[in-house]
Amino acid sequence: MSALKKTDKNSSFIIAEIGTSHNGSLQRAEELITAAADSGADCVKTQIVFADEIIHPNTGEVSLPGGSIRLYDRFLELEQNFNFYARIKELTEDAGLKFLASPFGTKSLDWLLNLDCDSIKIASPELNHFPLLRAAAASGRRLILSSGVSEMIDIEAALETVTSSAPSDAPPAVLMHCITSYPAPETEYKLRLLQTLYQNFNKRFNIALGVSDHSLDPLLVPCMAAAICPTVPCYIEKHITLKNDDGGLDDPIALTPEQFAEMTAAVRNTGALRRTSGTDAALAALREQFGAERLEAVLGDSVKRLAPSEAANYGRTNRSVHALTNLAAGTILTSENTALLRTEKILKPGARPEHWNDLIGKRLRNDIPSGEGVTLSDIE
């Protein structure tokens, strides 16, 4: 497919997720931003990382090209100062793109707000981080929420929290259908869910929709989303990297600049065809390109369930209540000795975030090792 002019961009909004692929290098960040701009993206997204806002040090290890490392230590390596993100924002806007970032707690959110952003990205594991959702929504910025490793009830709770916390003149939230698996099997996306999400939530919450895609094919899921998304523009998010073996946490599933440019052009063309000739014509063109069987497998059914590739991580990738230090039986739980963290690798999940207030002020009936989850059954 040939690239389109900028005037054809109104049917989609394409987010180039550089995440932490900059590896702490502003030069590398600039190269990624330039690649995103040259590839036709509308927006560059990064992540404001503080390890303590995400996981406990005892959460376990992750395998990287250089060997295994504590996941907590990897996040520590990715921490940067405020000026680093200010420079990324400046470089992004100088390239003519929108700046976007994910916070993971109140400190990173404060930094993001001080950068004078107009939108905030909430990653899938933070969809149930209700204190973060309330604070982000109260800022009045547009929230873009990914919905990986979640059930319909989780999405509804997040949207209710955001809506009730936002000022009346806040822009509508954007809900990004997502599979939290790296890579995500394309056949698990079930893109008919976009219509389900629209029917269930748009009337109540006036949302826009899109897809955050972690599958390996550069074109299939993004183009199909552009063909059938019930709202315009359709938001499309894909990771971008300079090389897949550069050592970033998400680099193995990211698109190279050449692939990202190919995706952007294809998505724009699909959107233009849909706008001029309708959804059926756009799907017919994709069916000819990818084959009817493959297309139908990605469309799937319209029932929201945990995808097989992410189901085992439900309750572990999401936030729950964890002990910040060794807590002896009889200890009174506080917001200083517990936190809402991702469980991740080897720890026991705790109570869901909506029960955190039920735990505060209660006395433990048993010992809780540092990092382990704290549940309702652990209190007297």
At 59-69, the pLDDT tens digits run: 999 887 677 88
Give pLDDT, residue 253: 86
Q: Is 310 a domain residue?
A: no
Reported as a pLDDT band with limits 50, 70 and 90, residue 9 is low
Reported as a pLDDT band with limits 50, 70 and 90, residue 364 is very high
How long, in residues, is the chain? Answer: 380
Structure tokens that stand for 174 in this block? 């954007």
What average pLDDT is seen over the chain?
94
At 161-180, the pLDDT tens digits run: 999 999 999 999 999 999 99
More confident residue, 251 or 297: 297
Indicate the number of domains in the chain: 2
Cα–Cα distances in angstroms (integers) from residue 162 to residues 171, 288, 321, 340, in the given order: 11, 41, 21, 18
Residues whose CB is less than 8 angstroms from the CB of residue 366 and which lie 6 or more positions away in sequence, other chains included: 329, 378
At 111-127, the pLDDT tens digits run: 999 999 999 999 999 99
Distance CA 87, CA 94 (A): 10
Question: The domain spanning residue 328 has which CATH number?
Answer: 3.90.1210.10
CB atoms within 10 A of CB 154: 18
Are 187 and 111 within one domain? yes
Distance CA 235, CA 177 (A): 10
Are 277 and 367 within one domain? no
Are 42 and 85 within one domain? yes
At 73-111, the pLDDT tens digits run: 999 999 999 999 999 999 999 999 999 999 999 999 999
At 173-221, the pLDDT tens digits run: 999 999 999 999 999 999 999 999 999 999 999 999 999 999 999 999 9
Give pLDDT, residue 8: 54
What residues does 177 pair with on adjacent strands? 211
Last residue of a domain, one of 270, 299, 328: 299
Are 182 and 75 within one domain? yes
> Which helix (H) or strand (E) segment is 272 a member of?
helix 257-277
Note the pTM of the prediction, 2 decimals.
0.94
- pLDDT surpasses 50 at 4: no
Q: Is 363 a domain residue?
A: yes
Are 67 and 36 within one domain? yes
Distance CA 180, CA 215 (A): 10
Distance CA 192, CA 263 (A): 21
Question: The domain spanning residue 48 has which CATH number?
Answer: 3.20.20.70
Find the domain containing 335 and state its range: 315-380
Are 325 and 281 within one domain? no
CB atoms within 10 A of CB 110: 15
Reported as a pLDDT band with limits 50, 70 and 90, residue 5 is very low
Determine which of 1-5, 85-89, 121-125, 134-138 has the lowest per-residue pLDDT on average. Answer: 1-5
Are 118 and 250 within one domain? yes
Are 118 and 246 within one domain? yes
Give pLDDT, residue 261: 97
Give pLDDT, residue 250: 78
Q: Is 122 a domain residue?
A: yes
- The whole-number average pLDDT for the span 265-274 is 96
Are 331 and 270 within one domain? no
Eight-state DSSP code of residue 294: H
